Structure 1
Amino acid sequence: MQTKAQPRIGISALAVHEPSWALSNSWFNGMPRKFAQHTGIESRFVASEDEVGLAWQAVRKLQGEFGCNLRDCAALVFVSPSFVPMTQAHQHLSDELARRERTRRAARQVARRLGLSNCSVTAVNWFCSGYPRALSQVTQRILPKIKLQSHQFVLVVTASKISRITDYGCPQTAGLFGDLSTATLIARTDSREYPVHFELLHAAAERRPTSAPYFNFELRKDVITPTSDGGQSSEAERLVFSLDGMGIADAAPRAMAGALEGALAATGIAKEDVRYVLPHQAGAAIVRLAAMKMEQLGIAGEVINGLTRQVGNVSSSSVPFGLKKHWSQLRGLVACPTAAVGSPGRSEVLQGCILLRATALHERNVVAVA
């Protein structure tokens, strides 16, 4: 939660970059029959560019749609779930390849490509909870250092390319994730240059213990990969993620409900004040279970579900993607809880939540559109 000494901030604009290549369920051999029913996923994007290129595309989209001037950017936060943590990178990869997995290195590359030479640069990899983690870094660490001016903004860019660490021959995990990038412009609520549509009331993310680890990395041989013409190729060796799908599917709904309840308690906001809940879109069934857990806690806001159909689980891009898709619908208090696997091999989940309130400007625009 923001302190009184800091300026009030919020989201002024959002942009989404969707890669041009989509991979449908029909490509996969051996996909479980109930996969689409449980996850809601029918296709997902596979990016040809790397995470730096994806981030650049999202920011250019933001500039084209919103007209922001990058000279006003006071800080860049680069968020990506698809970099291999350094412990696993050094364990499985050569020194040269391991260096390429440094999220901080990629963040600096994004800044250079955008021409951001005089702003703070932060890198975040908290998997599917990367977005609330990034916003908590903005409020708790970045704002006190940069002294954000009314004409300036903070850029939070998410870039997911989980396709490069996916084993497309594994029926349990191959179809879950999609590549995507987003750019969020955060400004002061008194900014005239970048008027805020959703004030940020709260952002937090934390680790919570579990009975077993749900996530790790493995070096596999002869890994099937898709090609853009609908065919397939193979890699002699690829470092890929492994996932206990049943375990995280059981833990994630509780984690998201708990994160939201904790956010409300921290801010003193009443449960009945929540108008919309936009959870991390881990899959249709997981979101349905999360909604049930929230209802049991007395949180009855309208839960948004079903955003995975054409994009898959887009990890840390999920919440900003959902905000963009429902921008003209959202009003009042909007809660965005997330849940993610923990560090590889560790018995934990990463959960987070942001609370947003539509500003008078946004409410007027919604009424005008209606």
Structure 2
Amino acid sequence: MLGIKAIAHYVPETKRDNLEQAKGLGRDASFIKEKIGARFLPVLAKELQTSDLAVAAVRRLLRKCRLEVEDLDCLCLCTQTPDLEGLPHTSAIVHSKLACASRCAAFDVSLGCSGYVYGLNILAGFMQKTDLNRGVLITADPYSRIVDPEDANTALLFGDAATATLIEKDGIFALGAATFATDGGRMDVLHKKNGRLHMNGRQVFNFAATEVPRQVAQLLSASSLSKDEIDLFIFHQGSKFIVETLARKMRLPSEKVPIMLNNTGNTVSSSIPLILEKYLNREDCRTLLLSGFGVGLSVASMILWRNE
């Protein structure tokens, strides 16, 4: 059965000081520390593109797993900030920069904060159907390119990052049940217009605080699991406040709900794998629940089972 074998990441070394940014945008230090939860926000260098961010993560994955680029059968790139306005697909550019074999498939998935859960299921389904052995799910979004530096709703929140997840047979974690929900009627709550990101933070918060607990309850019921049987709940790191709110509403112990955005901010589809990488080899983490939510508006949740 296909599953997650390894994860690597790339976070740019250049970072914005979020406390300094906040001063110029009329926000105090307590807002950054208690609500946002991100002290620093990584920023991709101006001369680099989304494909460069993705390539850096894949190269780290290859080194980590002692693989050659010729060993890869498929690349799936989840991004909403593509190179060259999206044509050609950015995964083809990544394919070229990595010098992948011509037989290596490459395709993009345009999703935001729910993208990692979607991407795992899309890539695994594609690989199973086409009998491929080794694929990589890449998440890469330099939102610094589309954030208005004068907009406190977004400028204090998003950081640039990329991750690469190796999907193989007999991975460390098997992919379990998944469930998805979309409310396209509220697409204007989080959208891009004239090259800039626009977000109604209150509406995104209300959506997540309502829909995520509902979906998690449905997924647990469908999987015949109780909350106590989940070792770790990995939520999209939208902000410290939203993750804490979800934990409180679902009555989850804080030790089961990691919050890790102090040095990265909200990294969109990369936030879940950035946390998952840290727990991948923890034997005490055997049953995990992932949940991503945001742009769309969209929610996607799934179970991961540690293989024996």
TM over 0.5: yes
Task: Note the C-alpha offset of 1:257.
Answer: 2.0
Task: Note the C-alpha offset of 1:339.
Answer: 0.6
Q: Say yes or no: does 1:17 pair with 2:10.
A: yes
In the superposition, relative to structure 1, how do residues 104 and 13 fare at CA in structure 2: closer, same or farther (>3 Å)? farther
| Counterpart position of 2:177 | 202
Q: Say yes or no: does 1:169 pair with 2:150.
A: yes
| Counterpart position of 1:137 | 122
Task: Note the C-alpha offset of 1:326.
Answer: 3.1
In the superposition, relative to structure 1, how do residues 265 and 68 fare at CA in structure 2: closer, same or farther (>3 Å)? farther
Task: Note the C-alpha offset of 1:61.
Answer: 0.7
How many angstroms apart in 1 are the aligned matches of 2:26 and 2:86?
A: 33
In the superposition, relative to structure 1, how do residues 310 and 137 fare at CA in structure 2: closer, same or farther (>3 Å)? same
How many angstroms apart in 2 are the aligned matches of 1:167 and 1:160?
A: 15
The answer to whether the Cα contact below 8 Å between 1:81 and 1:316 also exists between their aligned partners in 2 is no
Structure 2: segments with no counterpart, 5+ residues: none
AA aligned opposite 2:84: R
Report the RMSD for the aligned CA atoms in angstroms. Answer: 2.2
Within 5 Å, which residues of 2 pair with 1:46-61?
Answer: 46-48=43-45, 49-61=48-60
> 288, 306, 322: which one pairs with 2:259?
306
Q: What SS does the corresponding residue of 1:183 show, helix, strand or coil?
A: strand
How many angstroms apart in 2 are the aligned matches of 1:110 and 1:203?
A: 28
Task: Note the C-alpha offset of 1:131.
Answer: 0.5
Runs of 4+ in 1 over 4 A off after TM superposition: 209-212, 299-302
> 243, 246, 253: which one pairs with 2:209?
253
The answer to whether the Cα contact below 8 Å between 1:279 and 1:303 also exists between their aligned partners in 2 is no
* TM-score where L is the length of structure 2: 0.90
Q: What SS does the corresponding residue of 2:264 show, helix, strand or coil?
A: coil
- Which segment drifts farther, 49-58 or 261-270? 261-270
Q: Say yes or no: does 1:350 pair with 2:303.
A: no
The answer to whether the Cα contact below 8 Å between 1:277 and 1:301 also exists between their aligned partners in 2 is no
Task: Note the C-alpha offset of 1:62.
Answer: 0.8
| Counterpart position of 1:226 | none
Within 5 Å, which residues of 2 pair with 1:243-282?
Answer: 243-282=199-238
How many angstroms apart in 2 are the aligned matches of 1:278 and 1:65?
A: 23
Residues 25-58 of structure 1, C-alpha deviations (whole Å, 9 max, x = no match): 1431124121331011111100112110001000
Q: What SS does the corresponding residue of 2:140 show, helix, strand or coil?
A: strand
Task: Note the C-alpha offset of 1:64.
Answer: 1.6
Q: Say yes or no: does 1:293 pair with 2:293.
A: no
| Counterpart position of 2:239 | 283
How many angstroms apart in 2 are the aligned matches of 1:212 and 1:72?
A: 39
> 194, 214, 221: which one pairs with 2:189?
214
Residues 100-145 of structure 1, C-alpha deviations (whole Å, 9 max, x = no match): 22176211111122222212222112111111111121233x0343
| Counterpart position of 1:193 | none
The answer to whether the Cα contact below 8 Å between 1:206 and 1:352 also exists between their aligned partners in 2 is yes
Q: Say yes or no: does 1:124 pair with 2:123.
A: no
Task: Note the C-alpha offset of 1:188.
Answer: 0.6
Q: How many residues align?
A: 300
How many angstroms apart in 1 are the aligned matches of 2:75 and 2:19?
A: 39
Structure 1: segments with no counterpart, 5+ residues: 1-7, 84-98, 190-195, 220-238, 343-348, 361-370
* TM-score where L is the length of structure 1: 0.75
In the superposition, relative to structure 1, how do residues 144 and 357 fare at CA in structure 2: closer, same or farther (>3 Å)? closer
In the superposition, relative to structure 1, how do residues 16 and 103 fare at CA in structure 2: closer, same or farther (>3 Å)? farther
How many angstroms apart in 2 are the aligned matches of 1:103 and 1:260?
A: 36
The answer to whether the Cα contact below 8 Å between 1:157 and 1:182 also exists between their aligned partners in 2 is yes
How many angstroms apart in 2 are the aligned matches of 1:202 and 1:103?
A: 33
> 338, 341, 354: which one pairs with 2:292?
338
How many angstroms apart in 1 are the aligned matches of 2:259 and 2:139?
A: 21
The answer to whether the Cα contact below 8 Å between 1:103 and 1:124 also exists between their aligned partners in 2 is no
| Counterpart position of 2:38 | 41
The answer to whether the Cα contact below 8 Å between 1:281 and 1:306 also exists between their aligned partners in 2 is yes
The answer to whether the Cα contact below 8 Å between 1:80 and 1:103 also exists between their aligned partners in 2 is no
Q: What SS does the corresponding residue of 2:205 show, helix, strand or coil?
A: helix
Higher helix content, 1 or 2: 2
How many angstroms apart in 2 are the aligned matches of 1:321 and 1:288?
A: 18
| Counterpart position of 2:162 | 181
AA aligned opposite 2:189: Y
